[in-house]
Amino acid sequence: MKYLVIGLCLTLTFCNCTFGKDIIKRKLVTEYTCAQRDIAVYDIEQRLKLKRTAFSVTSSNEVIELYTNQNKWLIMITGVDKITCGFLGGQQEFIFE
């Protein structure tokens, strides 16, 4: 067991020295636009004319929803506190239309 621990320490030290210069660390901070769920869903469906086409529940009990229409899409995340945040959205366009 002692030799296993020593070998593991040497391996990690070797990997850190050899590949350490190629590893880049970045801290990402993101702010999302959020609202109460009923307000967000009303706005999405009435103003943006998007309909929920798929949803999933995460291991932390958050709901991830996909809203779409003919060429727009939006991914929303709702937490257990019933606050919904816009996560990602876009517009689908084809260059050969």
Which burial class, exposed, middle or buried, applies to 14 when counting CB atoms under 10 A from its CB (0-12, 13-18, 19+)? Answer: exposed
What are 63-77's pLDDT values in tens digits? 999 999 888 888 999
Number of H helices, E strands in the chain: 2, 5
The β-bridge relationship of strands 83-91 and 34-36 is antiparallel
d(CA 46, CA 68): 13
What are the tens digits of pLDDT across the range 3-54? 544 555 455 555 555 556 677 778 878 888 899 999 999 999 998 899 999 9
User: What's the pLDDT at 88?
Assistant: 81
CA distances from 52 to 35, 44, 62 (A): 17, 9, 16
